[in-house]
A and B are shown apart, each in its own frame.
Chain A
Amino acid sequence: MAERSFSASHLPGFTVVALAVFTMLYVPIFILVANSFAVTYSASLWDGLTLDWYAKAWENEAVQSATLRSLVIALSASIIATFCATMAALGTTRRRAFKGQTLIYVMINQPLMVPEIVTAVALLIFFASIKVATGYQGLGYLIAAHSAFCIPFAYLPIRARLEGMDLSLETAAADLYASPWMTFRRVTLPILAPGIIAGAMLAFVISLDDVVITEFVKSGGQDTLPTYMMGQLRRAMTPEVNAISSVLLVLTVLLLTAFFFLTRKND
Chain B
Amino acid sequence: MTNQNAVEARNVIKAFGQGTSAVRALDDVSVNIQRGEFFTLLGPSGCGKTTLLRLIAGFEMPSGGTILLEGTDITYLPPNQRPVNTVFQSYALFPHLSVAQNISFGLEMQGKPAAEVKARTDKMLALVQMEAMAGRKTSQLSGGQQQRVALARALAPQPKVLLLDEPLSALDYKLRKEMQIELKRLQHETGITFVFVTHDQEEALTMSDRVGVMSAGKLQQVGTPREIYTRPVNRFVASFIGETNFLPASVVPGGVKLGCGAVIAVEGLSGQGATTLTIRPEQVRLVDAAEAEAIPATVTNLVYFGTDTHCYLALPDGAEVVARLQSPSNGEVGLQQGQKVALRFVPGAAQVLAD
* B85:A175 contact, CB within 8 angstroms: yes
A104 within 8 Å of B by Cβ? Answer: no
B residues near A179, Cβ cutoff 8 Å: 80, 109
How far is B80's CA from A187's CA once the two chains are assembled, in angstroms?
Answer: 14
How far is B85's CA from A177's CA once the two chains are assembled, in angstroms?
Answer: 9
B324 within 8 Å of A by Cβ? Answer: no
* A172:B80 contact, CB within 8 angstroms: no
Instruction: Write the nearest CB–CB distance from A101 to chain B, whole angstroms.
Output: 19
B106 within 8 Å of A by Cβ? Answer: yes
Select B92's contact among A172, A177, A182, A190, beta carbons within 8 Å.
A172
Instruction: Write the nearest CB–CB distance from B191 to chain A, whole angstroms.
Output: 20
A7 within 8 Å of B by Cβ? Answer: no
* A176:B92 contact, CB within 8 angstroms: no
CB-based nearest B residue for A174: B79
* B96:A176 contact, CB within 8 angstroms: no
Select B105's contact among A166, A176, A191, beta carbons within 8 Å.
A176
CB-based nearest B residue for A191: B96
B236 within 8 Å of A by Cβ? Answer: no
* A182:B94 contact, CB within 8 angstroms: no
Name the interface size band of chain A. Answer: 10 to 19
Instruction: Write the nearest CB–CB distance from B335 to chain A, whole angstroms.
Output: 49
* A176:B85 contact, CB within 8 angstroms: yes
How far is B85's CA from A182's CA once the two chains are assembled, in angstroms?
Answer: 17
CB-based nearest B residue for A266: B139
What are the interface flags for A155-174 relative to B under an 8 Å C-beta threshold, 1 for contact and 0 otherwise? 00000000000101101111
Q: Tell me whether A174 and B78 are in contact in the complex, defined as CB-CB below 8 angstroms, given that A168-B88, A187-B94, A191-B96 are known contacts.
A: yes
CB-based nearest B residue for A187: B94
A178 within 8 Å of B by Cβ? Answer: yes
B residues near A174, Cβ cutoff 8 Å: 58-59, 78-80
B residues near A178, Cβ cutoff 8 Å: 80, 105, 109
Instruction: Write the nearest CB–CB distance from A246 to chain B, whole angstroms.
Output: 38
* A169:B92 contact, CB within 8 angstroms: yes
CB-based nearest A residue for B95: A191
How far is B110's CA from A179's CA once the two chains are assembled, in angstroms?
Answer: 10
* B92:A166 contact, CB within 8 angstroms: yes
* B92:A168 contact, CB within 8 angstroms: yes
How far is B94's CA from A186's CA once the two chains are assembled, in angstroms?
Answer: 10
How far is B154's CA from A108's CA once the two chains are assembled, in angstroms?
Answer: 40
How far is B107's CA from A178's CA once the two chains are assembled, in angstroms?
Answer: 10
Instruction: Write the nearest CB–CB distance from A103 to chain B, whole angstroms.
Output: 23
How far is B92's CA from A125's CA once the two chains are assembled, in angstroms?
Answer: 52
B86 within 8 Å of A by Cβ? Answer: yes
* B109:A177 contact, CB within 8 angstroms: yes
Instruction: Write the nearest CB–CB distance from B236 to chain A, whole angstroms.
Output: 31
Instruction: Write the nearest CB–CB distance from B233 to chain A, whole angstroms.
Output: 34
Instruction: Write the nearest CB–CB distance from B9 to chain A, whole angstroms.
Output: 18
* A175:B79 contact, CB within 8 angstroms: yes
* B92:A171 contact, CB within 8 angstroms: yes
A residues near B154, Cβ cutoff 8 Å: 175-176
CB-based nearest B residue for A165: B95
- Contacts of A174-215 to chain B: CB distance below 8 A: 174-179, 182-183, 186-187, 190-191
CB-based nearest B residue for A171: B59
Select B86's contact among A172, A182, A183, A191, beta carbons within 8 Å.
A172
Instruction: Write the nearest CB–CB distance from A198 to chain B, whole angstroms.
Output: 16
Select A169's contact among B79, B94, B109, beta carbons within 8 Å.
B94
* B90:A166 contact, CB within 8 angstroms: yes
* Beyond A176-B106, A177-B106, A177-B109, 8 extra complex contacts between A and B, CB < 8 Å: A171-B59, A172-B93, A174-B78, A175-B85, A175-B154, A176-B153, A177-B110, A182-B109
Can you list 16 A-B pairs with a CB-CB distance of less than 8 A? A168-B88, A169-B92, A169-B95, A171-B79, A172-B88, A172-B93, A173-B94, A175-B85, A176-B80, A176-B106, A177-B157, A178-B80, A179-B80, A182-B109, A186-B109, A191-B94
